[in-house]
Amino acid sequence: MGQSKNERRAGKVEAMAKAVNLRTSPRKLNLVAQSIRGLPVQRALNELEFSHKRIAKDVRKALYSAVSNAENNHNLDIDSLIVAEAYVGKNLVMKRFSARARGRASRIEKPFSEITIVVRELSGDAA
């Protein structure tokens, strides 16, 4: 009687991974996401390995997860994968207060964000 099977969110030759609650603003995370969009997976991993951005380490983990999902869950060839999509979304925002002069306070916002990475297998002639 359980729940019916959910539709697959990715296509037949796609695999997806999502990293949530990344402690950075979406604007900063999008700079890293832009650097890997459309690249072959191995080149994208190299870009993230040698990036100077702190959040690149977490994006690299998410990309590894997408590649593992492609290999283990969808039987895709990891040598012919490209980063088809890498998009960023907002998540929660922690609000904190900082003491200021004359008994006032100012608000500090600590944003979180999330990234979704979709890898796609190219056909043999395109790779």
Asked if the structure places residue 126 within a domain, the reply is no
Asked if the structure places residue 83 within a domain, the reply is yes
> What is the model's pTM?
0.88
Report the CATH number that the domain containing residue 34 is assigned in CATH. Answer: 3.90.470.10
Asked if the structure places residue 82 within a domain, the reply is yes
Asked if the structure places residue 55 within a domain, the reply is yes
Segments forming the whole domain that contains residue 35: 14-121
- Contact 37/12 with Cβ under 8 angstroms? no
Asked if the structure places residue 4 within a domain, the reply is no
Q: How confident is the model at residue 126 (pLDDT cuts 50, 70, 90)?
A: low
Asked if the structure places residue 5 within a domain, the reply is no
What does the pLDDT look like over 76-104, one tens digit per residue? 999 999 999 999 999 999 999 999 999 99
The total of structural domains in the chain comes to 1
